[in-house]
Amino acid sequence: ANFSEQVVESFPSDISTGIYYGWACVGNGDVHKMVLSIGWNPFYKNIKKSVETHIIHTFKEDFYGEILSIVITGYIRPEKNFDSVEALISAIQEDIEEAKRQLDLPEHLKLKEDNFFHLPEGKIVNNH
């Protein structure tokens, strides 16, 4: 799930590029573990900074147009380039496993239940 350019531009400018982990919620659905990439994805030679969320969950259908709420709880590694798509896929799998381990720790697990994810219906946050 990729954030729009407008959302990416609103991220704090001093946040380091790299791979993060945390919690994500689509619409008013359940909260799931996630891995987040912030940067230029050098393997794909992106010219615009992107924020891409990989929700560690299999959804039954697409959720285009839904609001994606995230809480970043930790940092895994800096952004880097890869020699092959296979090396990139391997690193992504390692990032997912690290995120799962970290998010099972009590200090991260408690954030899954944060009120941030349980806003009243129709409430607008940060103009969204």
Per-residue tens of pLDDT for the chain, all 128 residues: 888 888 888 888 888 999 999 999 998 889 999 999 998 876 667 778 889 999 999 988 888 888 899 999 999 999 988 889 899 999 999 999 999 999 999 999 999 988 888 766 555 554 44
Q: 52 catalytic, yes or no? A: yes
Query: How high is the pLDDT of residue 103?
Result: 97
HSE toward the beta carbon, residue 97, CA cutoff 13 A: 6
Query: How high is the pLDDT of residue 127?
Result: 45
Query: How high is the pLDDT of residue 24?
Result: 96
Confidence (pTM): 0.85
Continuous H helices in 22-115: 85-103, 106-109
Of 5, 9, 52, 98, which is the active-site residue?
52
Query: How high is the pLDDT of residue 128?
Result: 46
The full set of domains in the chain, from first to last, is: 5-117 (2.40.30.30)
Tell me how far apart the alpha carbons of residues 59 and 20 are, in angstroms, rounded to a whole number: 21
Query: How high is the pLDDT of residue 43?
Result: 64
Query: How high is the pLDDT of residue 120?
Result: 63
Query: How high is the pLDDT of residue 20?
Result: 97
**Cα separation values, 62 from 5, 56, 82, 89, Å:** 20, 14, 29, 22
Query: How high is the pLDDT of residue 23?
Result: 97
